[in-house]
Amino acid sequence: MPHISAKTTLAELKRSLPSSYVDFLNHHDGGEWACGDDLVVTWSAEQLVPFNNEYRVQTLAPGLLLFGSDGSAEAYGFDMRSPAMPVVLIPFVGMNWEFAISVAEDFGDWRRTLKPEQANSSHAEMQLAELKPVLLGGDPVDPANRIWLTRDQHFGYVRFWNNVVMAANAKSAPQ
């Protein structure tokens, strides 16, 4: 996997991605999808590098490449540490391999579960976030603990709360 930096080109990245995903990007280039009762938001090719950089993915979970989200607290990505590049679901806040869940052996298998979703125009390009993340004691079902954020606000939100998590982990680590 190439190191993802601001200078990483899309062409460089595509050479290391599963062909089923590159085909998907060539045909759809992002969008909203239904996976059972769940929403899946896939990012466009042009969003891959900047979004992974903004979320500090390589710092928090080296070898992970995010390509979308559930529109809320979790992201979808490739475990690029494995040659098969399974699809994983991982929380934005507390992003760490410890919390990653494998959801498909490869992108092709995962893609077959998706169906086009009618976009909710009032929340297009937005993420639903928890005012206090569940990882830190927030209520996952309380509507008062939810807020819609623009993508730029969400980048800042995730960086802020991941800094809080890292500081708390550092404090609790044995000296």
Could you tell me if residue 3 is inside a domain? no
| 2 falls within a domain | no
Distant-in-sequence, close-in-space partners of 130: CB < 8 Å, separation ≥ 6: 73, 93, 138, 140, 145, 146, 147
- The yes-or-no verdict on residue 103 having pLDDT over 90 is yes
pTM: 0.86
Integer Cα distance of 53 and 155 in angstroms? 10
- Give the range of the structural domain holding residue 57, as residue numbers without chain letter: 10-172
Phi, psi of 166 (to 5 degrees): -65, -40
pLDDT tens readout for residues 47-86: 998 899 999 999 999 999 999 999 889 999 999 999 999 9
Q: What's the pLDDT band for 159 if we cut at 50, 70, 90?
A: very high
Is 4 part of any domain?
no
Write the CATH number for 45. Answer: 3.40.1580.10
- pLDDT of 19-48, one tens digit each? 899 888 888 888 888 777 778 889 988 899
Please give the pLDDT value at position 2.
Answer: 45
How many domains are contained in the chain?
1
pLDDT at 7 over 90: no
